[in-house]
Amino acid sequence: MNSRRDFLKQAACVLGAAALSGKTLDLYAQNNKSIRIAGRVPGSNMDGFVSPKLQKIRVGVIGIGGRGYNAVQRLCNIPGVEVTALCELIEERAQNAASYMKEKGFAKPKIFIGPEAYKELCDSGLCDAVHINTNWESHATLAIYAMRAGVHTFVEVPGIRTIDEAWEMVETCEKERVHCMMLANCCYGDDEMLMIQAAQLGILDELCHAEAEYIHETRGGDNYQAFQARDVIFSSLDMLVRNTGATYPMHALGPVALALNINRGDCMDRLVSMGSQAYNWQEFARRKYGADAPVSRVKFECNDFNTTVISTVNGKTILLRQCNNVPGPYSRQYHLYGFKGRLSANPLQVAIEEELGAGAGWMGEKELKEFRNKYQSDLWKNWGEIAKTSGGHGGMDYMMDLRWTYCLRNGLPLDTTVYDLASWCSVIPLSQESIRNGNKPVEIPDFTRGQWRSNTPVGDMSVDVSKL
């Protein structure tokens, strides 16, 4: 393993981006206002980082619950990918995934079982990359170990739960020179990719503000039953008992952060978070299971509706809304505000000013269809039908996995980096800190340590079928 790790590092030094210039270091020193990064100096920049091309990517899937099992199914059907290893606490889950692979004619994977089995998988030499689908609290621990083993690391949301974990993820990634990407599937939705591309092309001119929401009713019976049984594997309700703030901001924040060039020309610098009282979760439990049920007697801290406002160094703002316990349809909407107009996603609406000061109304059906045809991402134009039939949240999961595997096979930078993972997820603990301290503003660490000034915006997110 050591020789393999050394080889990867040496090759990455040749292929990857150069370290910060002295000018950038000076800029960093002049603008280092945050006490949260005191004593930390820029490492080897992971923006634009590329690793040696992999003709075939050997992937180990860690965590084979519902999300992990679906990941096995998708990865087996992506060109150039071989699922070589599975890791689980419950052997039956891993065996079910292995049975699926056998039934479909794929090679038998090596199975690792137990709480420390992920270490054996990472050290086995069987995998070039790991796909982590375990409980939230274990994500950072497993990802850091995988990177130190010299393995490219792809981790489900959220990538971290604390600021210390975020810094350790960043510094480990920079030191080991391997990819670390959070599997933020909502960045790969059809409307989201169109929105990001339109922003990058300047369709709305300079952007000044963005809004995003994640409204998802999750008060299902399974969560409460698992909580009452104290499921040793994981219950997401535990997080709602012990935490507040924006507990799951990545799906809302990710796409607008890419549209606003966060960590690539701009940087989030502070936030303020507010939340309504914690009532609906517990009241639902009382009505469904009775006042004496264990879940009904535990006090929930998580607010029913969270609103978090973020400012950036360049004077832009982001408004995030999250609600997971009010009856109603799933909603993941995004809004961009620019000098020339507005663009909303899910559903797509566009208003562009044709003449200065003339105002603008929403495009009609015909004009909107033409706009979609013109600015829809090539990924969805060429792979949309395949993605939809391959499952994974309407095809987003397939698009995400198709893109990162394509990048690894062709020696390309990934769409998002460890800096995105750290900054997007830092909203979780920082919004909680803001609420617990009377809704006071909280500084957001600059995980790039000034390197965002020279980092390049996300580029072409397409896949050339001739290179698969």
Q: Determine, yes or no, domain membership for 398.
A: no
Q: Determine, yes or no, domain membership for 392.
A: no
Q: Are 19 and 430 in contact (CB under 8 A)?
A: no
According to the per-residue pLDDT averaged within each range, which of 40-54, 115-129, 293-307 is highest? 115-129
Q: Determine, yes or no, domain membership for 400.
A: no
Tell me: do 251 and 164 sit in the same domain. no
Q: What is the pLDDT of residues 405-449, one digit of tens each?
A: 999 999 999 999 999 999 999 999 999 999 999 999 999 999 999
Q: Does the pLDDT at position 236 exceed 90?
A: no
Print the SS3 string covering 225-278: HHHHHCCCCCCHHHHHHHCCCCCCCHHHHHHHHHHCCECCCECEEEEEEEECCC
Tell me: do 79 and 193 sit in the same domain. no
Q: Does the pLDDT at position 96 exceed 70?
A: yes
For residue 299, the model assigns a pLDDT of 82
Where would I find the beta strands (DSSP E) of 262-418? 268-275, 305-312, 317-323, 334-338, 341-345, 349-352
Tell me whether residue 11 is exposed, middle or buried, using C-beta atoms within 10 angstroms of its C-beta: 0 to 12, 13 to 18, 19 or more.
middle
d(CA 422, CA 181): 10
Quick one: DSSP state of residue 13?
Answer: H
Residue 188 has φ and ψ, to the nearest 5°, of -115, 15
Alpha-carbon 460 to chain mean position: 18
CATH code (residue 57): 3.40.50.720
Q: How confident is the model at residue 404 (pLDDT cuts 50, 70, 90)?
A: very high
75 vs 24, higher pLDDT: 75
Q: Does the pLDDT at position 257 exceed 70?
A: yes
Q: What is the residue range of 252's domain?
A: 187-379+417-443
Tell me: do 277 and 141 sit in the same domain. no
Tell me: do 332 and 218 sit in the same domain. yes
Q: Does the pLDDT at position 278 exceed 80?
A: yes
Q: Determine, yes or no, domain membership for 396.
A: no
Tell me: do 166 and 231 sit in the same domain. no
Q: Determine, yes or no, domain membership for 139.
A: yes
Looking up tokens 């990517």, which residue turns up?
Answer: 57
Q: Which of 160, 186, 212 is the last residue of a domain?
A: 186
Tell me: do 111 and 144 sit in the same domain. yes
299 vs 220, higher pLDDT: 299
Which of 39, 34, 30, 457 lies closest to 271 in space, CA to CA? Answer: 34
Q: Does the pLDDT at position 63 exceed 90?
A: yes
Mean pLDDT of the chain: 88
Q: Which of 137, 157, 186 is the last residue of a domain?
A: 186
Tell me: do 157 and 291 sit in the same domain. no
Q: Determine, yes or no, domain membership for 463.
A: no
- What percentage of the chain exceeds 90 in pLDDT? 72
Q: What is the pLDDT of residues 333-349, one digit of tens each?
A: 999 999 999 999 999 99
Number of residues that make up the chain: 468
Q: Are 177 and 153 in contact (CB under 8 A)?
A: no
Tell me: do 216 and 154 sit in the same domain. no
Q: Which of 186, 212, 236 is the last residue of a domain?
A: 186
CATH code (residue 329): 3.30.360.10
Q: Are 250 and 424 in contact (CB under 8 A)?
A: yes
For residue 26, the model assigns a pLDDT of 35
Looking up tokens 């005191």, which residue turns up?
Answer: 38
Tell me: do 80 and 219 sit in the same domain. no
Q: For residue 409, give both structure tokens.
A: 């096979």
Q: How confident is the model at residue 401 (pLDDT cuts 50, 70, 90)?
A: very high
Quick one: DSSP state of residue 393?
Answer: G
Tell me: do 354 and 369 sit in the same domain. yes
173 half-sphere exposure, CB direction, 13 A CA radius = 33
Q: What is the pLDDT of residues 12-43, one digit of tens each?
A: 443 443 333 333 333 333 343 343 444 566 67
Tell me: do 41 and 81 sit in the same domain. yes
Tell me: do 343 and 252 sit in the same domain. yes
Number of domains in the chain: 2
Q: What is the pLDDT of residues 196-228, one digit of tens each?
A: 999 999 999 999 999 999 999 887 655 555 555
Q: How confident is the model at residue 232 (pLDDT cuts 50, 70, 90)?
A: very low
For residue 354, the model assigns a pLDDT of 87
Q: Determine, yes or no, domain membership for 466.
A: no
Q: What is the pLDDT of residues 381-393, one digit of tens each?
A: 999 999 998 877 8
Q: Determine, yes or no, domain membership for 345.
A: yes
For residue 8, the model assigns a pLDDT of 46
> Is the bond into 347 cis (omega within 30 degrees of 0)?
yes
